[in-house]
């Protein structure tokens, strides 16, 4: 069956013409990207100087302004911050210390979850252990948690790792990606998301009524590595009512065992956080390299600038940001104007649901009706009756958007997003890049990052295939997501590849081909996609 699908895909794509890449420009891009790279300098400033970049925080605004000024220094024009919103309240933390003071003294590794309040100074208390995972669990603990430090969840058994924590894509993995994959069940169904949202709201309400001192959750990682994300949301009326922190598995397990043994455990906790309500909008950073004879048409590249706050957002997604910035710098440094305007966009609000890129696409390219109250908590791609698109004039002018957001690893290929007409074009572009390890074009879709905002309104939006390195195993949304986990050679290679794709798209005779839109996406009186 799979062999038949591969054959059909090859037949379908063979009727479309490939491109002939410009070898002179390929050479110039390589020379600038490998001999005069600035990617690590940019990375060091962004991660070490600016730091973590939670959307709505002062650091995020500083990152917007810093990237705007840096792109201007690279020679790009019209560098500016474009607001969108409302996003909601901003948040940052200044301090988090957790100590066990009895039966032993120990400094414990923990960080607060985003949008939770502080403790208003040092608090001291006895921990109790609970396991609240469903709405039904809540009632078991009603009236039992007030004034307590709550350990939520069982201790986790840790085993030696049976595979390497650092990995590259093998030839077999890349070959398998080239086999068409029939659409399957999503990671979470709509029903599961509705149930999860109901639990989140019920737990928030319960904690506001119960008033424990602190909620402490453990993590599934080990080696002192733990995931730091949010609790509650940034939206009005959805703030988490009590301080909530996540603790390393090893330290949480010790506390949980002591409590289960009925030992007299005492903890000191001090969490200091700040909310920001003066500006509830958020911002994307935008800049351009003007085109020449086709300057009214646009090729875009980018990645999301926001991050979580446990590390400094290096691999998620500082890596994608600095690669996109370096790709734009390389093209500008060569000194030859592209035919089409090249526009870089560095998004905010990605971690909260691709919010910045969705807002930008809605403002510039195409929008849908506002979701109903019942649909607002459902991811946009899973909303029922999302409604037809309203096309903006710029929809006909965007040739393609290229995104990078899967860590520090080398680019190994590109997802065509089931756009069969682009496959032979991409194949011709990667032919001169095979010595850099770029070998694979897959018709498969990939999701969960900002190219989806473009793809969802019928625009060619693409994400690159990257080496895993240690993204899921070690750095994704963790306290280890820092500059030191970046791989210099990988980022240099990725910048050269991204610059090559963007340059070829900006200079090919025609705009990139598009997938047909679903009938439900078209306005009632429309029978065709807007003319390009």
Contact of 246 with 113, CB cutoff 8 Å: yes
- Which tokens hold the place of 118? 């502080």
pLDDT of 515 over the 60 cut:
yes
> Is residue 357 a contact partner of residue 343, using CB atoms and an 8 Å limit?
no
Across 482-510, average pLDDT: 98
**Residue with structure tokens 């696409």?**
361
Integer Cα distance of 416 and 248 in angstroms: 39
Q: How far is CA 86 from the centre of its chain?
A: 20
Torsion, Cα 424 429 431 434, to 10 degrees, reads -120
Q: Which residue, among 123, 122, 100, has the nearest Cα to 264 in the 3D structure? A: 100
Distance CA 81, CA 231 (A): 28
What tokens does 1 get? 């069956």
Place of tokens 């019928």: 458
Give percent of the chain above pLDDT 90: 77
Q: Is pLDDT of 365 > 60?
A: yes
pLDDT range class, residue 2, cuts 50, 70, 90: very low
Q: What is the pLDDT of residues 199-236, one digit of tens each?
A: 989 999 999 999 999 999 998 888 888 999 999 899 98
Tell me how crowded residue 188 is: count the other CB atoms within 10 A of its CB: 13
Residue 52 CA neighbour count, 13 Å, CB half: 23
From 468, 485, 479, 470, select the one nearest 219 (Cα to Cα): 479
**Least trusted range by pLDDT, from 2-16, 176-190, 294-308, 487-501:** 2-16
Comparing 105-114, 337-346, 382-391, which segment has the lowest mean pLDDT?
A: 382-391
pLDDT beyond 70 at 15: no
Tell me the pLDDT tens digit for each residue of 148-162: 999 999 999 888 876
* Domain residue extents for the chain: 2-87+281-521, 91-276
- Measured distance CA(429)–CA(452) in Å, rounded: 22
Rg, the chain, Cα only: 24
- DSSP 8-state assignment for residue 232: B
**Under CATH, which number does the domain 91-276 receive?**
3.50.30.30
CA distance 327 to 502: 8
pLDDT score of 168: 87
Tens digits of residue pLDDT in 270-303:
999 999 999 999 999 999 999 999 999 999 999 9
Question: What is the predicted pLDDT for the residue at 67?
Answer: 98
Domain 2-87+281-521 fold: Aminopeptidase (3.40.630)
Q: Could you read off the pLDDT of 170-194 as tens digits, one per residue?
A: 888 888 888 877 776 767 777 888 8
Among candidate residues 304, 246, 245, 232, the one with its CA nearest the CA of residue 275: 232
485/165 Cα distance (integer angstroms): 12
First-to-last C-alpha distance (Å) of the chain: 37
Give alpha helix (H) positions in 338-478.
Answer: 355-364, 423-430, 451-455
Phi, psi of 178 (to 5 degrees): -80, -5
Q: How many CA atoms lie within 13 A of 401 on its CB side?
A: 27
| Cα–Cα distance, 385 to 150 (Å, whole number) | 41
Among 372, 388, 382, CA closest to 520: 388
Reduced to 3 states, what is the DSSP secondary structure of residue 128?
A: strand
Please name which of 402, 476, 108 lies closest in space to residue 265, comparing C-alpha atoms: 108
Are 48 and 312 in contact by the 8 Å Cβ rule? The answer is: yes
pLDDT mean over 363-385 = 78
Print burial letters for 453-472: b (CB count within 10 Å at least 16), e (below 16): bbbbbbbbbbbbbbbbbbbe
Q: pLDDT averaged over the chain?
A: 91
Residue 13's pLDDT band (cuts 50, 70, 90): very low
pLDDT classification of 397: cutoffs 50, 70, 90: very high
Q: What is the pLDDT of residues 305-364, one digit of tens each?
A: 999 999 999 999 999 999 999 999 999 999 999 999 999 999 999 999 999 999 999 999
Angle at 440 between CA 398 and CA 169, to 5 degrees: 120
Could you give the percent of the chain with pLDDT greater than 70?
92
* Average pLDDT value for residue range 44-56: 98
């Amino acid at each position: 069956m799979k062999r038949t699908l591969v054959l059909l895909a090859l037949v379908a794509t063979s009727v479309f013409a490939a491109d002939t890449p410009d070898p002179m420009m390929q050479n110039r891009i390589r020379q600038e990207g490998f001999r005069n790279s600035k990617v690590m300098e940019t990375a060091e400033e962004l991660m070490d100087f600016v730091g973590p970049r939670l959307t709505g925080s002062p650091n995020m605004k500083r990152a917007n302004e810093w990237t705007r000024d840096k792109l201007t220094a690279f020679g790009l024009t019209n560098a500016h911050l474009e607001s969108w919103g409302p996003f909601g309240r901003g948040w940052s933390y200044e301090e988090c210390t957790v100590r066990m003071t009895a039966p032993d003294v120990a400094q414990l590794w923990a960080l607060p979850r985003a949008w939770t309040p502080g403790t208003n100074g040092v608090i001291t208390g006895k921990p109790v252990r609970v396991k609240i995972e469903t709405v039904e669990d809540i009632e078991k603990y009603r009236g039992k948690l007030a004034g307590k430090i709550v350990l939520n969840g069982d201790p986790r058994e840790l085993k030696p790792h049976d595979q390497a924590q650092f990995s590259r894509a093998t030839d077999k993995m890349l070959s398998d990606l080239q086999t068409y994959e029939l659409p399957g069940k999503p990671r979470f169904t709509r029903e599961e998301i509705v149930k999860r949202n109901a639990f989140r709201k019920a737990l928030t309400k319960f904690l506001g009524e119960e008033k424990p001192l602190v909620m402490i959750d453990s993590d599934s990682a080990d080696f002192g590595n733990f995931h730091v994300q949010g609790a509650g949301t940034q939206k009005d009326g959805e703030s988490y009512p009590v301080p909530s922190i996540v603790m390393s598995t090893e330290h949480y397990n010790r506390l949980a065992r002591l409590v289960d043994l009925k030992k007299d455990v005492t903890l000191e906790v001090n969490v200091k956080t700040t909310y920001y309500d003066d500006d509830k909008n958020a911002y994307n950073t935008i800049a351009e390299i003007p085109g020449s004879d086709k300057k009214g048409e646009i090729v875009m590249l980018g990645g999301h600038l926001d991050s979580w706050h446990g590390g400094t957002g290096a691999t998620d997604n500082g890596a994608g940001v600095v690669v996109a910035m370096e790709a734009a710098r390389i093209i500008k440094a060569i000194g030859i104007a592209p035919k089409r305007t090249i526009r870089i966009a560095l998004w905010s609000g990605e971690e909260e649901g691709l919010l910045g890129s969705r807002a930008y696409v809605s403002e510039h390219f195409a929008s849908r009706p506002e979701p109903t109250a019942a649909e607002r908590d459902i991811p946009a791609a899973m909303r029922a009756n999302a409604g037809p698109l309203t096309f903006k004039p710029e929809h006909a002018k965007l040739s393609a958007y290229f995104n990078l957001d899967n860590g520090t690893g080398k680019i190994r290929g590109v997802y065509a997003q089931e756009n069969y007409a682009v496959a032979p074009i991409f194949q011709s572009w990667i032919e001169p890049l095979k010595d850099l390890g770029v070998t694979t074009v897959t018709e498969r879709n990939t999701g969960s990052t900002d190219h989806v905002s473009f793809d969802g309104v019928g625009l060619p939006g693409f994400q690159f295939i990257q080496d895993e390195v240690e993204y899921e195993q070690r750095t994704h949304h963790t306290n280890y997501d820092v500059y030191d986990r970046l791989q210099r050679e990988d980022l240099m290679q990725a910048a050269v590849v991204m610059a090559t794709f963007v340059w070829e798209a900006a200079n090919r005779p025609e705009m990139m081909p598009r997938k047909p839109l679903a009938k439900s996406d078209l306005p009632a009186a429309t029978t065709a996609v807007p003319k390009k």
